[in-house]
């Protein structure tokens, strides 16, 4: 191999690998930093991938320079873990990411209420104040 060439990511594993081993700690640190950015930057109103990437460069959190695509991969892992979500877009069409709302399935009825013949005609109020009116289906798909 020539000394002035950079090996392909397919061979080295890219920034997610250190000495050919998946670097869990590095990724966890980057994910925590991104989560902190999403929660604190812009007053929680949403941040773009570009602003997250710029903040990562400014804070020097990565020992390698991450492309916007690699930052997007990290953001996607947080979205898949329901820690952040996309909420809207900027005027230029960039996605805005915010901290995910805590979702709860707890509500004010007990399991034995389901046995009542009028159960399907009742409204259900959940802990986060979401209300299902009686005409909405109460089953899960």
> What does the pLDDT profile of the chain (141 residues) look like in tens digits?
556 655 555 555 567 677 777 788 888 999 999 999 999 988 878 899 999 999 999 999 888 888 899 999 999 999 999 899 998 888 999 999 999 887 666 656 666 666 667 666 777 777 777 777 776 555 554
At 32 the pLDDT is 94
**Euclidean distance between CA atoms 47 and 72, whole angstroms:** 12
C-alpha 48/C-alpha 37 separation (Å) is 10
Are residues 55 and 37 in contact, defined by beta-carbon separation less than 8 angstroms?
Answer: yes
Alpha helix (H) ranges present in 22-67?
A: 24-40, 49-59
How many CB atoms neighbour CB 28 within 10 A?
A: 10
């Amino acid at each position: 191999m020539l000394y002035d060439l950079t090996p392909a990511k397919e061979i080295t594993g890219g920034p997610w690998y250190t000495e050919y081993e998946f670097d869990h700690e590095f990724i966890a640190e980057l994910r925590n930093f991104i989560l902190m950015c999403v929660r604190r930057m812009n007053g929680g109103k949403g941040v773009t991938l570009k602003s997250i990437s710029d903040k990562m460069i400014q804070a020097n959190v990565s020992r390698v320079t991450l492309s916007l695509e690699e930052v997007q991969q990290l953001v996607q892992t947080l979205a898949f873990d329901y820690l952040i979500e996309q909420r809207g877009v900027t005027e230029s069409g960039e996605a805005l990411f915010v901290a995910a709302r805590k979702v709860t399935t707890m509500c004010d009825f007990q399991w034995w209420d389901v046995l009542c013949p009028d159960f399907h005609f009742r409204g259900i109020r959940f802990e986060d104040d979401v209300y299902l009116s009686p005409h909405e289906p109460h089953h899960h798909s």
